[in-house]
Amino acid sequence: MTTTDASGEEGFTEHFEALLAADERIEPRDWMPDGYRRMVLRQVAQHAHSEIIGMQPEGAWLTRAPSLHRKASLLAKVQDEAGHGLYLYSAAETLGVSRAELLDALHGGTQRYAATFNHPALTWADTGAIAWLTDGAAVVNQVPLCHTSYGPYARAMRRVCQEEAFHVRQGYDVLWSLCRGTPEQQEMAQDAVNRWWLPAVALMFGPPDTTAGGADDRTAAMGAAVSRRSMAWGIKRHTNDELRQRFVDNCVPQAERLGVTLPDPAIRWNEERGHYDFGPIDWRLFREALADNSQCARQRLAHRVAAHEDGAWVREAVDAYAAGRYEEGQSA
């Protein structure tokens, strides 16, 4: 047993561990180990950035939505994503970093966002497939995060989850109409599902952390170490592979009802496991997307940076105006 040093860190560690053991939340002004703070921050920041970058593929279709009803629901959805990004940036700020630092990290590429969004949204049907599959995967990830150990993150996730259910239904509804439309529309829907299925299955749940799902032992072991740490701290509640399985189990009957084929011939019900089997994931594709070198990845980041730089004069004006008003108040 280590002796308590002058800073009294030993007592703090015990208190922190006791809170976790009692399934209590950690709040911003609690003492926490640096590793915990870094891990929460990395996850919350990545999540926030994903919401903001995730606005782009669907946002590009706002001006082309094929009915006024679809336009309104897509606007509401993209707007929610901006809102979710803001909830999460607020949660990240409670860990002592500013929004400016977080955005710099996004723009500079030192913090990541979900690589799923580095795929292009090529047709109107993509707005449906993204919402059904990508948001559907996000919900599977996010529901357990409503009970994550860091209080501000859990509270942000509760808000996000309340709103996210609408996104998945909205996307499914877009595809539902297409699947009941002309043969050309059905083809467009199937094509979009073909392109968004694997990104959702592979990239929305992170790397393999068990040997399920096609990972080799070494990759799985690396993933497992990260997941174990995160789960011990109550940040994550389930392994990536557990959540991935849950997602596949959700989607297969939904796809059948919709009338689309999921692009994985290995999908079939496994009576023994009580789950759907699915084909091994091509983790090479996963790593390529992580390399941030695709044309679309560059475009996503360039779009975001351009918006930020074009708006610099506006933000400077706001600061100058506020400072001027403050001085007026001082001299009065």
Which of 108, 253, 280, 324 binds other proteins (CB under 8 A)? It is 324
Judged by CB under 8 A, which stretch of 59-67, 132-140, 245-253, 291-299 contacts other proteins?
A: 59-67
Least Å distance, CB 252 to other proteins, is 25
Q: Is 9 in the site for other proteins (CB under 8 A)?
A: no
Which of 21, 313, 331, 332 binds other proteins (CB under 8 A)? It is 313
Convert residues 246-285 into a mask of x (bound to other proteins by CB under 8 A) and - (unbound).
Answer: ----------------------------------------
Which of 14, 17, 96, 98 binds other proteins (CB under 8 A)? It is 98
| Closest to other proteins by CB, 266 or 312 | 312
Residue type, 322: A
Q: Is 108 in the site for other proteins (CB under 8 A)?
A: no
Give the angle subtended at the CA of 185 by the CAs of 261 and 54, to the nearest 5°: 75
Closest CA to 106 of 119, 88, 122, 94: 88
Q: Is 128 in the site for other proteins (CB under 8 A)?
A: no
The CA-atom distances, in angstroms, between 301 and each of 54, 118, 199, 308 are 11, 9, 18, 11
- State which of positions 290-309 bind other proteins (CB under 8 A): 303-304, 306-307
Which of 41, 45, 55, 255 binds other proteins (CB under 8 A)? It is 55
- State which of positions 18-47 bind other proteins (CB under 8 A): 27-31
Which of 168, 178, 193, 252 binds other proteins (CB under 8 A)? It is 178
DSSP one-letter code for 200: I
Distance CA 279, CA 276 (A): 10
Judged by CB under 8 A, which stretch of 236-244, 267-275, 280-288, 313-321 contacts other proteins?
A: 313-321
Residue type, 69: H
Least Å distance, CB 29 to other proteins, is 5
Report how many residues bind other proteins under the rule CB under 8 A: 73
State the distance between the two ends of the chain, measured CA to CA, in whole angstroms: 62
95, 37 Cβ separation under 8 angstroms:
yes
Convert residues 65-84 into a mask of x (bound to other proteins by CB under 8 A) and - (unbound).
Answer: xxxxxxxx--xx-xxx-xx-
Counting every residue written for the chain, the total comes to: 332
Q: Give the relative orientation of helices 34-59 and 295-310 as an angle to the nearest 10 degrees.
A: 90
3 state SS of 276: strand
Q: Is 129 in the site for other proteins (CB under 8 A)?
A: no
Residue 221 forms beta bridges with which residues? none
Distance CA 52, CA 34 (A): 27
Q: Is 110 in the site for other proteins (CB under 8 A)?
A: no
Q: Is 332 in the site for other proteins (CB under 8 A)?
A: no
Distance CA 21, CA 77 (A): 38
| Closest to other proteins by CB, 170 or 245 | 170
Q: Is 314 in the site for other proteins (CB under 8 A)?
A: yes
- Written as six digits, the tokens of 284 are 């090479």
Distance CA 105, CA 107 (A): 6
User: Computed over its alpha carbons, how large is the radius of gyration of the chain?
Assistant: 22
Which of 85, 136, 208, 213 binds other proteins (CB under 8 A)? It is 85
- State which of positions 189-248 bind other proteins (CB under 8 A): none
